[in-house]
Chain A
Amino acid sequence: MKVIKQSPIKSALTVLALSLASSTTMAQELSITVTNLTQGLHFTPVITAAHASDNHIFMASEMASTELQAMAEGGDISGLVSMLNNADANINENPAAGLLAPAMSASFTLTNDSANTHLSLAAMVLPSNDGFVGLDSWVIPEAAGTYTVFLNAYDAGTEANDEIRGSGAPGEAGMPVPPPLDAVIGMNGTGVTDMESNDKVHIHRGSLGDSDMSAGTSDINNSVQRWLNPVAKLTITVQ
């Protein structure tokens, strides 16, 4: 390292400037926009949290918590909210005030405490049995700027992907069907599978669907409600 001789006052000022610049103990203000990139999926209420490095909403290849299961099977984020509150996380709930429709965006601000250096997000994707869009522990940059993160769809591994109308309650088969979905998905499907042999959180293999709205194996419309990753875009501006 290059050492430049300078007056004591100048040195003191430099040290002060450096300590201010490298300060990691200050809260940050984040402006966040989440975009549903798909044309055929709805997202249930989105939960976004800044939390400590040792907390997770989910982890790929780990079993889902019961709180994650409730979100992934029925869109219920209340369990995740209390789990994160107990961990002193900074939380934003439901920025779209309901479902985030295909191709729509929701924006919000989140101020994170100094210890909450990681960002996570989750929302169920509909129609699905236990699919969700997720972000696990993205390190929040210290430098001001705008950052873009693309998000994939995961499978909670807690429910068989039968792809037919059913329940959003944890442990109960079938897909929840809130009003906007009712008109766009099929009925009388006989079920794609009753097996869920991978019970760890994994990248969702996608829906099969079929082209028959009143019969067939699946109630998912194969030319509209399949997807390719990524399914969401997160734009984060660090002030």
Chain B
Amino acid sequence: MLTFITQKKSSNKLTLQLLIASVLTLGLAACNDNDNVVEEVVVVPVTPVMEYSYSITLTNLTYAQPLSPVAVALHGDTKMWQVGQSASVALEKLAEGGDNADFIALTSNMATTSSEGAVPPGASVTLDITTTEPMATYLTVATMLVNTNDAFSGLTGVDISTLMLNQEKSWRLNVYDAGTELNNEAVGTIPGPADGGVGYDATRNDIDLVGYHSGVVSKDDGLSSSVLTQAHRFDNPAVKLTITRTK
């Protein structure tokens, strides 16, 4: 069981108060057999719509691992994956096949964008994303290392609410393993140019927990059945990511 303790005491108290408030509200509603709780809604004063824009640049730091079309999403306080938990099917499709369509379409996303194509080794891509949703202050970026079974890099649920205009923040990102497909590196199982094999397969034949990737072995380093060569090996970090708030 993962336990992330990031809330401060004050917000815990607030959560408790809100919980008590909502329990009381529910109790009243139940007692009165009255579904009309419109009176409880706080009226928010009408304010001009604020627009928030960010520029996100991703650089592929690997030697020979093209990165699948990069998915970028803004959303509320949630994480799209966690070490020690099973990958969602949307993440599995991204990590096994480089297909980010389902990942982009997740209902928790409030704003999304994707690079048009893969990002070759040594290359960078810059994506702009804009939202008017004030709650969309958490960032997720995900991309597959396509010459692998199910390796991906990225970050998820990172709070960007404190970014000032023109402020920049950078990360060097490690490589995760979706845990949904064995790292057998076998012919026909790797979607990238090293193989041209099958991407997503619904069968889960690995640990079924997201973790950090152990790297590819390759046929040159002791896995004779591997379709990969020494060139496809990688190390952490694999990706550099920079976000700048532009509006």
Contact = CB atoms under 8 A, between A and B. Distances in A.
Interface of A: 31, 33, 35-40, 102-105, 107, 144, 146, 208-211, 222-231, 233, 235, 237, 239
Contacts of A39: 177, 179, 206-207, 209, 211-214
B183 A224 contact: yes
Contact of A235 (B5, B8, B174): B5
B213 to A, nearest CB: 7
Contacts of A35: 2, 83-84
B165 to A, nearest CB: 25
B142 interface: no
B4 A104 contact: no
A234 to B, nearest CB: 12
Interface in B47-72: none
B6 interface: yes
B203 interface: no
B5 A237 contact: yes
Contacts of A223: 182-185, 214, 217, 223
A105 B211 CA distance: 11
A37 B211 CA distance: 5
Contacts, number: 93
Interface in B1-28: 1-6, 8-9
B6 to A, nearest CB: 5
A64 B217 CA distance: 31
A69 to B, nearest CB: 26
Nearest to A41: B214
A231 B175 CA distance: 12
B117 interface: no
B214 A227 contact: yes
Contacts of B125: none
A105 B210 CA distance: 13
Nearest to A104: B84
B131 interface: no
A213 to B, nearest CB: 13
A230 B174 contact: yes
A211 B182 CA distance: 13
Contacts of B4: 33, 235
A140 B223 CA distance: 43
B95 to A, nearest CB: 13
B178 to A, nearest CB: 10
Contacts of A229: 236
Interface in B185-233: 185, 206-207, 209-215, 217, 221-225
Contacts of B168: none
B77 interface: no
Nearest to A232: B212
Contacts of A208: 222
A224 to B, nearest CB: 7
Nearest to A233: B83
Contacts of B213: 39, 228
Given A103-B84, A146-B6, A230 B212 contact: yes
A209 B222 contact: yes
Given A35-B83, A39-B179, A230-B236, A102 B211 contact: yes
Contacts of B102: none
B235 interface: yes
Contacts of B182: 223
Contact of A226 (B1, B2, B5, B217): B217
B48 to A, nearest CB: 34
Contacts of B236: 228-230
A226 B211 CA distance: 13
B102 to A, nearest CB: 23
Given A103-B209, A223-B185, A226-B217, 18 more contacts: A33-B2, A35-B84, A37-B83, A39-B206, A39-B213, A39-B214, A103-B83, A103-B179, A103-B211, A144-B8, A209-B217, A211-B222, A222-B217, A223-B214, A223-B217, A228-B215, A237-B6, A239-B9
A38 B84 contact: no
Contact of A33 (B5, B9, B184, B206): B5
A37 to B, nearest CB: 4
Nearest to A217: B222
Contacts of A102: 207, 209, 211
B222 A105 contact: no
Nearest to A216: B222
